[in-house]
Amino acid sequence: MPRKPFICGNWKMYTHRAEAVALAEGTAKAAADTPGVEVGACPPACYIEAVVAAAAGTPMVVGGQNMYFEPKGAFTGEIAGPMLKDLGCTYVILGHSERRHVFGEPDDLIARKVKAAFAAGLVPILCVGELLEERKAGKTDAVVRRHVTAGFDGLASDQAAQVVIAYEPVWAIGTGETATPDQAQEVHAFIRTLLADLYDARLAQAVRIQYGGSVKPDNAHALMAQADIDGALVGGASLKVDSFGAIIAEGAKAKGV
């Protein structure tokens, strides 16, 4: 089965309520206009309900930006997977580079969140990727191997096949720098090899792998034209309907859908 391209916006800590609703409405229209591409948005948690309502009746899916690994409890300031599910989320981003490197989340914590996401009925978007110094030191494969292996630890094949992986070289996030299509494809192909080793070749070919890191309308086509790049996790460019819609359209052209 061909992998359906998946382009998802990560709004991070941006938008007010009215902006979020307007952005969701525009994104939902782009999703309806491009049925060959799965389109999603991950708004701030406080606006999830409003975004879900704005996207009602359209193909657009909604996700959380993070979650805790316990389903409930005395964890002030956290949000649980069942809460995201209750609000209407389908996906949840886990292990984003900002969670790893700004908030210090280690691999084992992220792995617990992955399992908790499935327990809550959510699909994880598992982010993996290296720092600039790690790439310069030739450690890209080792870092990605560690992130993928930890994130998939203990997952049954049926769960593993559902995980969306987002390869995001940290040096390309919010910097204006972008991995070249060849650089990105090389790592995406490496991830498929890892999955084949962890499970089997069929599962490796089923898992969708997004690219994340300064994706824009002018580079989306070249990136998504690569054989193993199945979509994009988009930050800043997802905050404007025009730019995000253009990325979706370019992705659809690149994949011929």
DSSP 70: S
Beta strands 164-167 and 61-64 are: unpaired
d(CA 245, CA 122): 25
Give the tokens for residue 35.
């049925």
Using an 8 Å Cβ cutoff, are 65 and 96 in contact?
yes
Using an 8 Å Cβ cutoff, are 79 and 98 in contact?
no
Residues designated catalytic: 96, 168
Distance of CA 239 to the CA centre of its chain: 15
| 182-198 burial: b if 16+ Cβ within 10 Å, else e | eebbbbbebbbebbeeb
